[in-house]
Structure 1
Amino acid sequence: MQDTSGYDPNYVMGRSTAETDRLKRQSQLYDASTWQLLKDAGLSDGMKVLDIGSGAGNVSFIAASLVGGRGRVVGVDSNPVIVAEATSAARSLGLSQVSFRVGDINAMELERDFDAIVGRLVLIYLPDPSAMVRQLLDHLKPGGIVAFQDLDWGDGPIAVPPSPLLSQAWGYVKEMFQRAGLNNRMGLSLHGVFASAGLREPRMSLFAPAGGGADFDGYDYMASGLRSNLPHIVKLGVATEEDVAIDSFAERLRAEVVASKGAFALPTFVGAWSRKASV
């Protein structure tokens, strides 16, 4: 049976140890694209950065690498367990310029002198992302940077040749997002979110790791995402645990792709950045 002890109805991926492990695996696959987004957006030495929905701290650590020792990065997340883990990781990495706070971003007292506000995979879980970005602008200096990266699930997986098992799993998650009231196209929707928040049209980029063969990390990553989504997939009536058969999913997907000498792309992350008006 699926462990739902860490289930959080406000975050469809859950708050379990397995989800924390998934975030670490995700970091290995996607961090390079996040670094490029933040660099292109203009993060540089000495800046003060606010990381929304900071999770295990990976985006905060990327920001720290760009702002250096003279800069400062503040990560905010509502989960005290993952904040404690991120704080410990920052300490072990010697990143004294990085700190984390526990709390609801809607209710927290935050400074109003940040040079940049960033986030990865956070706006998709909000009922009104434009309102949140508009609210966050109050904490940003004139001319400050806004940079977000979010998921664009799309209509189906990119795979050559087509993978029936991957398509089935993709469909489960897409349907779960829709029934949960989430925008599975949040990535490309960032353009409209920024505009509705009063920002200038953002610069945008798109990234998806891809591969095949027996050693591709994508099989385990897809399985970990499916596992974290499973409580909602079952609760919302999309599929049963028996339908998903999560414990064997990674190996079944690996066998299918390897047998066909195929390759596939993991879910797409879309990045967008803009700046607050100077006056």
Structure 2
Amino acid sequence: MTSGTRDGPGTGYVLGDTDPELARLDVLARLYGPATAAWLDSAGLAPGASVVDLGCGPGAAALAAAERVGPTGRVVGVDASDRHLAVARRRAAEAGHAHVEFVRADVTTWSPAGPVDAVLGRLVLLHLPDPVALVARSAALVRPGGVVAFQDVVLTSRAAHPPLPLLTAYDRWLRTALGRLGVPLDAGLRLTGVFRAAGLPDPVLTSAQPLERGGDAAGWAVVAGDVTSLLPAFERTGTATAAEIGPEDFERRLRAEAAAADAVLVNPMLVGAVARVP
């Protein structure tokens, strides 16, 4: 799920690969597990298939793909973060997936030894300056009739009902900082246009937007993890300071607000797109 380090507008992954970021990604994997399963099922991954997962992060989508292609298949996860790859390799070994390999490389330039049956990318396109180029390149890596599948988020769709002051502030910080860094907030809604521009047929779309209630919602940990991971970006872009945000107890305060209001958390929509290469 990482493609590099952001040094300017639209040049790479802005969330880092620290322990808090790994924890955030684990919560995301659990929260959106059913959505990822539906997306992969729509891709029709068959036993024995060869699959590449670009920007694999700690390996959630790659391992889910490995379950579908079975031991006669092969899955290669590609990521730029050694920390994420170490976690992915450990989890693959614990699951007994000898048919899964993880490679450290730039997802925009890496190529497999030959054509594969499917190329996946989960929460990676929003971090790239040219998502169309990656999707087009992915299509070139797939044999005719193979699958290109990407899944991305609509960050503007997160909400609480009733509204919570801390979440409202967080959304303002997120939109401002990512806007200044050139990261699209609606990447999931752009997928059809990206696939068309890459020369692919209109994709089959899946979507999910998990709802939770109260102070124990898992999604509050995602928000708090974002605050920790994005704090350098918030400060670098002049969006907010650590003193304004209070990251050390942000999650506790957010959960307390949610519990007091018995708030419903509408987690961001996750959109999957799948197309077959002509």
Q: Under TM normalisation by the shorter chain, which class is it? A: over 0.9
Alignment partner, residue 32 of structure 2: 30
Cα deviation, residue 213, structure 1: 2.1
The residue type equivalent to 1:201 in the other structure is D
Q: 1:219 and 1:105, CA in 2 relative to 1: closer, same or farther beyond 3 A?
A: closer
> What letter corresponds to residue 77 of structure 1 in structure 2?
D
**Which residue of structure 1 lines up, in the alignment, with residue 59 of structure 2?**
57
**1:78 alignment partner in structure 2:** 80
Partner of 1:4: none
State the 1:257 CA deviation: 1.6
Shift of 1:253: 1.3
Q: Deviations over 1:228-270 (max 9, x none)?
A: 1111011101111111111221111111121112211122211
Deviations 1:151-179, CA, capped at 9 Å, x for gaps: 1112x632211222111101111111110
TM-score, with structure 1 as normaliser: 0.92
Contact 2:135–2:195 (Cα < 8 Å) also in 1: yes
Instruction: Indicate the residue corresponding to 1:202 in structure 2.
Output: 203
Distance 1:161 1:85 in 2: 38
Distance (Å, rounded) in 1 between the aligned partners of 2:87 and 2:212: 31
**Cross-structure match for 1:95:** 97
Q: Tell me the secondary structure at the aligned position of residue 56 of structure 1.
A: coil
1:8 Cα deviation after fit = 5.9
SS in 2 for 1:135: helix
Q: Kindly state the Cα deviation for residue 185 of structure 1 after the two structures are TM-superposed.
A: 0.7
Counterpart residue identity of residue 60, structure 2: N
Q: Quick one: structure 1 residues 251 and 167, their matched pair in 2 at CA, closer, same or farther if it must change by over 3 Å?
A: same
Task: Write the deviation string for residues 195-240 of structure 1: whole angstroms up to 9, x where unpaired.
Answer: 0000001111221222122322122221012211111011101111
Whole-angstrom CA distance in 2 between matches of 1:107 and 1:205? 28
Paired letter, 1:220: A
Question: Alignment partner of 2:32: what SS?
Answer: helix
| Counterpart for residue 68 of structure 1 | 70
Q: 2:206 corresponds to which letter in structure 1?
A: S
Query: Relative to structure 2, which stretch is displaced further, 51-60 or 85-94?
Result: 85-94
Match of 2:259 in 1: 258
Is the alpha carbon distance of 1:167 and 1:135 closer, same or farther for their aligned partners in structure 2, counting shifts above 3 Å?
A: same
Q: Deviations over 1:81-136 (max 9, x none)?
A: 22122112111110111111111133334233211111111011111100111112
The amino acid across from 1:274 in the alignment is A
Distance 2:87 2:256 in 1: 35
Q: Greater CA deviation, 76-85 or 191-200?
A: 76-85
Q: Name the counterpart of 1:271.
A: 272
Structure 2 gaps of 5+ residues are none
> Cα–Cα, structure 1 residues 206 and 107, in superposed 2: closer, same or farther, change >3 Å?
closer
Shift of 1:42: 1.0
Aligned 1:69-148 pairs, distance under 5 A: 69-148=71-150
Residue 45 of structure 1: aligned partner: 47
Contact 1:46 1:67 in 2 (8 A): yes
8 Å contact kept, 1:152–1:184: yes
Is the 1:219–1:251 contact (alpha carbons within 8 Å) kept by the matching residues of 2? no
On the 8 A contact 2:111/2:141 being kept in 1, the answer is: no
Asked if 1:171 is matched to 2:168, the reply is no
Percentage identity across paired residues of the two chains: 37
The alignment covers a number of residue pairs equal to 271
CA change 1:109–1:115 in 2 (3 A) is closer
Which one-letter code corresponds to 2:248 in the other structure? D
Which range moves more in the overlay, 187-196 or 8-17? 8-17
Contact 1:8 1:14 in 2 (8 A): no
- What is the rounded CA distance, in whole Å, between the counterparts of 2:173 and 2:215 in structure 1? 24
What's 1:12 paired with?
14
TM-score (norm: length of structure 2):
0.93
Paired with 1:144 and 1:105, the residues of 2 have a C-alpha distance of 19
